[in-house]
Structure formats: structure tokens, C-alpha cells
Amino acid sequence: MSDKKKFIITTPDGTQADLTNARTLKSNNLYPFGRHNYSIYETPEGLFVRGYNSGEREIMLTGFVMLDEATARSYTHTYTREDD
């Protein structure tokens, strides 16, 4: 048995994706966290997932949604970091 931790996410519509071996295509992980944080993942199974932050300062990603490949590859994040 492997002791490797799994990174399985669930989207608001109940879809699950295993991001354990996913490749990060784009991301912004600057701290302090906030709406500027996101990650675009491609899973080995060919799924595309966007992780986002809904405004939480201490957690980088607070939610996930599935994307189609074209949207994932051309994704431009709309929020920028605002230091306070």
C-alpha cells in the first residue's frame, strides 16, 4: 500500500477530479492569499481544473471548477494582488 497522499477535489456540481499527479499549467500563489490566487491543472486523464480563491487570506485555493481545454490553455485571471 502506498503512503502517498491523494489530492482529490470536488466542484460545486459534485464532479470529482484527482489532482495528485496533475500538471500545473498556470498559477499565482502569492501570499497573502486572496482573489488573485488561482491554479490551472491538467490531470493525466485529460481533465482541466481551475482552482480559485474566494477571498480567504490564509488558504490559497478555496474552490474548484472544471474547464474545457481551450479555456484552460487560454485562461487569463481577472484579479490582481492588492496589498493592504
Residue-level pLDDT at 83: 63
Torsions phi, psi of 67, nearest 5? -130, 155
Residue 20 in any domain: the answer is: yes
Residue 79 in any domain: the answer is: no
Distance CA 12, CA 14 (A): 5
**Which DSSP string corresponds to 22-34?**
PEEEEEE-PSSPS
Residue 14 in any domain: the answer is: yes
pLDDT tens per residue across all 84 residues of the chain: 555 799 999 999 999 999 999 999 999 998 899 999 999 999 999 999 999 999 999 999 999 999 999 999 999 998 887 665
Q: Print burial letters for 34-55: b (CB count within 10 Å at least 16), e (below 16).
A: bbbbbbbbbeeeebbbbbbbee
Q: How many domains does the chain have?
A: 1
Residue 84 in any domain: the answer is: no
Residue-level pLDDT at 82: 67
The whole domain housing 43 covers 8-73
Residue 67 in any domain: the answer is: yes
Residue 31 in any domain: the answer is: yes
Residue 78 in any domain: the answer is: no
pTM of the model: 0.88
Residue-level pLDDT at 84: 54
Residue-level pLDDT at 2: 55
SS3 content of the chain, % helix, strand, coil (to 5): 5, 30, 60
